[in-house]
């Protein structure tokens, strides 16, 4: 995973218990993800909680897009550029489309 990803993840192989944990954590830790299947991870396809397989070309593209988006987000106050903001939004939309197509 990318080093700047700060989302806490709990892996739970029991789907019912995972649902209960999600309900409990929604108010006290809204950024926490409870994973009961690989598709639950917001970092898919590069989340490696079940598999150490190497990323394919599409996964590497997604990792690069996430990295570029994070840099634009982290520097948005230093560079108040409308164009960079629009670029970030376009990249986020493109990443969402890529993620939707892989499911």
Reported as a single tens digit per residue, the pLDDT across 54-103 is 567 777 787 788 888 888 888 888 888 889 989 999 999 988 887 776 55
**Position 7 pLDDT exceeds 80:** no
Q: What is the pLDDT of residue 86?
A: 92
| Number of domains into which the chain is organized | 2
21 against 39, higher pLDDT: 21
Prediction pTM value: 0.49
- 53, 71, 88 — which closes off a domain? 53
Pure H helices in 1-103: 15-28, 57-74, 82-102
Does one domain contain both 42 and 64? Answer: no
Q: What angle do CA 45, 97, 27 make, to 5 degrees?
A: 65
Q: Phi then psi for 16, rounded to 5 degrees?
A: -65, -45
Report d(CA 55, CA 46) in Å as an integer.
7
Does one domain contain both 49 and 64? Answer: no
Does one domain contain both 81 and 67? Answer: yes
- Hey, what are 9's tokens? 């993840």
**Position 14 pLDDT exceeds 50:** yes
Does one domain contain both 62 and 82? Answer: yes
Does one domain contain both 37 and 61? Answer: no
- Hey, what are 92's tokens? 């986020």
Q: Give the bridge partners for 11, in sequence order.
A: 35
How confident is the model over 26-48, as pLDDT tens digits? 888 888 888 877 666 766 655 65
- Distance from chain centroid for Cα 14: 22
Q: Is 90 left (phi over 0), alpha (psi -120 to 50) or beta?
A: alpha
**Position 4 pLDDT exceeds 70:** no
**What range does the domain containing 91 cover?**
54-103
């Amino acid at each position: 995973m990318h080093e700047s990803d700060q989302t806490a993840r709990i892996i739970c192989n029991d789907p019912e218990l995972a649902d209960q944990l999600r309900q409990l954590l929604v108010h006290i830790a809204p950024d926490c993800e409870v994973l009961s299947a690989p598709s639950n991870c917001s970092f898919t396809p590069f989340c490696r909680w079940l598999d150490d397989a190497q990323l394919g070309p599409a996964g590497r593209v997604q990792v690069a897009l996430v990295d570029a988006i994070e840099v634009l987000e982290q520097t948005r106050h230093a560079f108040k550029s409308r164009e960079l903001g629009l670029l970030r939004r376009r990249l986020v939309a493109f990443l969402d489309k890529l993620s939707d197509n892989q499911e």
